[in-house]
Amino acid sequence: MTLGAVDKVFAGSIPRLYQTHMVPLIFQPYADDLARRLARRKVSRVLEIAAGTGVVTRALDAALAEDVSIVSTDLNPTMIEEARKHATRRAIDWRPADAMALPFDDGAFDCVVCQFGVMFFPDKVRAFAETRRVLAPGGVFVFNVWDRIEENDFANVIQQALGELFPQDPPRFMARTPHGYHDVAAIRRDVTDAGFASPQIDTLAARSVAPGPLEPAMAYCQGTPWRSEIEARGSLEEATRRSARAIEDRFGPGPVDGKIQAHVVTATAP
């Protein structure tokens, strides 16, 4: 899988729209799941990579003991800036950082967590090996990735709508990257090639709910790098309207409720 030129660009109004639309729509249930998993473990030094606007950071802050330190990082400084706006009960060490070259000492953490970020890493094995480097022996790496797009209702419906709107050159960001790293065998191979023990992988379905069809259309079309692909082809407003209409045709004009599904991976450092 090759990342597109705009796939890692979260800039302009995208961080704000991501936080206000995407987080409650699809990210919060899985953030809460990761926080529950870590709360059952004895951890003291937690690193989050690809933290985005901090939905997992805030879930960890609420779930973990007060003496647990949390360092939260993202490649995009604009996402970190948005994350800083939201209150936490403890001081979070927010830092821009590249998961491919983490600016931390060997064995600095006993847990690394990543929500829906590893799909964006250009070299998965190298990034996983870098994660293993900063983990203490016996430390745990917990991350999640989206299952294939056909298992995620709103993303799939919008992809089909955009394909009809731009038939000559459909924008494929969502299928290419967020939903492009779903093969469990490939994930297991990459994790073990990076030096971890064979991981536990759970497939977890949840529900994505919104007050109406426009909210998911806004979230996906305007709150993700799909936006740049759309704007390069035509009208963002028309794409959002077309996507909202497609969701209404599938789920009705009132409150909408669609399936989302992801894999949750837990790996232990030797």
Which three-class secondary structure state does DSSP give residue 217? helix
Task: Find the length of the chain.
Answer: 270
Domain presence at residue 262? yes
Determine the pLDDT at residue 13: 53
Domain presence at residue 161? yes
Structure tokens at 111: 């847990």
Domain presence at residue 5? no
Domain presence at residue 193? yes
Please say whether the beta carbons of 55 and 28 come within 8 A. yes
Determine the pLDDT at residue 16: 80
For 258-270, how does the pLDDT look when each residue is reduced to its tens digit (9 = 90+)?
A: 999 999 999 999 9
Domain presence at residue 8? no
Q: From CA 113, how far away is CA 35, in angstroms rounded?
A: 9
Cβ atoms within 10 Å of 108's Cβ, excluding its own:
16
For 36-65, how does the pLDDT look when each residue is reduced to its tens digit (9 = 90+)?
A: 999 999 999 999 999 999 999 999 999 999
Structure tokens at 263: 């894999």
What CATH number does the domain containing 90 carry?
A: 3.40.50.150
Q: From CA 162, how far away is CA 246, in angstroms rounded?
A: 10
Provide the domain limits for residue 144: 14-268
For 134-178, how does the pLDDT look when each residue is reduced to its tens digit (9 = 90+)?
A: 999 999 999 999 999 999 999 999 999 999 999 999 999 999 999
For 59-87, how does the pLDDT look when each residue is reduced to its tens digit (9 = 90+)?
A: 999 999 999 999 999 999 999 999 999 99
For 1-42, how does the pLDDT look when each residue is reduced to its tens digit (9 = 90+)?
A: 444 444 444 445 577 888 888 999 999 999 999 999 999 999
Domain presence at residue 50? yes
Domain presence at residue 195? yes
Q: From CA 223, how far away is CA 59, in angstroms rounded?
A: 21
Q: How many domains does the chain have?
A: 1
Domain presence at residue 70? yes
Find residue 210's DSSP bridge partners: 256
Determine the pLDDT at residue 201: 98
Is the confidence at residue 209, as pLDDT, over 50? Answer: yes
Structure tokens at 246: 């497609």
